[in-house]
Amino acid sequence: MSRATKSAASKSPASKAPASKPRASKAAASKPRAAKAAVSKPRAAKAAAPENARTVLAELLEPGPVPAPVAGFRWASLAAGIKKRGGLDLALLVADQPVPTAAVFTRSLVKAAPVLVAAERVASGLAQAVLVNAGCANAATGRPGLAAARTSSGAVATALGIDASLVLPMSTGVIGVLLPAEKIVAHAAPLAEAATADGLEGFSRAIMTTDRGPKRAEAEARIGGKRVRVVGVAKGAGMIHPDMATTLACVVTDARVSAPLLRRALRTATDATFNALTVDGDTSTNDTIVAMASGAAGNASPRAGDAGERALVAALTQVLGALGRLIVADGEGAEHLVTVRVEGAPNDAGAKAIARAIATSSLVKTALYGKDPNWGRVLAAAGRAGVAFDPTRASLDVGEVRIVTRGLAVGGDTDARAHAVMLRPEYTLTLRLGAGRGAASYLTCDFGTEYVRINADYRS
């Protein structure tokens, strides 16, 4: 994620669209185990209304144990002087050898230099390292920006003793500022030397910008008769809106899998998770997710459509869903994590479009911040989504409280009861439109004064 001006889990906010939601394997061996506790998922929201919901969200983001190393990968981090405020700002993920790699990138027409370079290099299906800097997006920097991305990643490649085409660059920070490649070049050798199997903690902190804490998740699966692990790390708190990935993220697995199958699995998992969440409706110029597979588990390589592929998709979806949930919970200034659920739409795609319209509405999001059950804003947003439905059949629930039925207010004490639900740090808005089979969910958060404060003086 990068920012033009100023720029923390377990359940995936997945749409029910067939293309987005992996089918459960009938074989027990193909079903991944639940993501491990603490860092992999936030604790359940408290039932009672807290005095400070933002404090509760901060507790959800509190990091726990760092996932154990994944065979075949090492991590490194250090301070290179790129962030104005100092601290860790340069990170490296390196595989023991070139490995099958897949990536998804922002679909914004304004793509940062590292996105262009990484997309060009990952097209081969092989990579060995990911270089990430925080504090400078290196976006809208023209040819000098491309040169800086190539120079800096080239220096790290030389330090690792590998070809530059095997290093994928990522950047996050202020847009329009040229990457100080000389700082990365000067730190390339010590960065490469610092890479260790247990370096994920430092990596997860070095890539942060406005994040309140690191974001990590893990899952396990049985593929080809072997236990495989999937571990992911991400950053993001603002400039979050789906159009590929909405953040920077790296996912590693010890599964043996081909690059084409890994690419398809990553896209499916991304659509079901990162492409179904929003913080502020702004898509970054730098959005990137990279997935790498070492093959160290020694499993039989899965094939298209088999139980192994379904297990891999499920594990990736679990990890990305956990990371996405942490990102929205860490939304800049956010006090409430809200799932927008739409049911009874003509189809899943229509349901997702309506959920997206509601989740990204500034009027809805400010009402969430004010704990105001302003149902008119929800219906108005649904009505402009471009999906046909009969408003006179619509109902709306805030948590367990029905406030609209047949398109009209229920009345009585429902507003007061809905307001009590909205004091919670986490809840669901459920809009039912009729008898259609389409359904989808979208993860969002509220818009408040803290978001404005953070973004009003980001470059100051």
Tens of pLDDT, residues 42-53: 333 333 334 455
User: Which CATH superfamily, name and number, covers 337-456?
Assistant: ArgJ beta chain, C-terminal domain (3.10.20.340)
- In CATH, what is the architecture of 28-329? 4-Layer Sandwich (3.60)
Question: What is the token pair recorded at 237?
Answer: 């708190």
Torsional sign, CA 403, 406, 409, 412: negative
Q: Which tops the pLDDT comparison, 454 or 71?
A: 71
Q: Which tops the pLDDT comparison, 105 or 39?
A: 105
Whether residue 429 contacts residue 341, with contact meaning beta carbons closer than 8 Å, is answered with yes
> Mean of the pLDDT values across residues 385-396?
97
> Mean of the pLDDT values across residues 49-75?
74
Of residues 319, 435, 317, 430, the one with CA closest to residue 382:
430
What are the tens digits of pLDDT across the range 187-210? 999 999 999 999 999 999 999 987
Q: Which tops the pLDDT comparison, 240 or 398?
A: 398
247 catalytic residue (yes or no): no
Query: Residue holding tokens 């394997």?
Result: 25
Asked whether the predicted pLDDT for residue 333 surpasses 80, the reply is: no
- Name the least confident of 41-55, 91-105, 133-147, 358-372: 41-55
> Mean of the pLDDT values across residues 330-358?
92
pLDDT number for residue 264: 97
Write the Ramachandran bin of 134: left for phi over 0, alpha for psi from -120 to 50, otherwise beta: beta
pTM above 0.95, yes or no: no
Asked whether the predicted pLDDT for residue 60 surpasses 70, the reply is: no
Whether residue 424 contacts residue 337, with contact meaning beta carbons closer than 8 Å, is answered with no
> Mean of the pLDDT values across residues 209-215?
86
Active-site entry in 101, 141, 209, 246: 246
Domain boundaries, given as residue ranges, for the chain: 28-329, 337-456
Asked whether the predicted pLDDT for residue 75 surpasses 70, the reply is: yes
Spatial distance between the Cα atoms of 15 and 352, rounded to a whole number of angstroms: 7
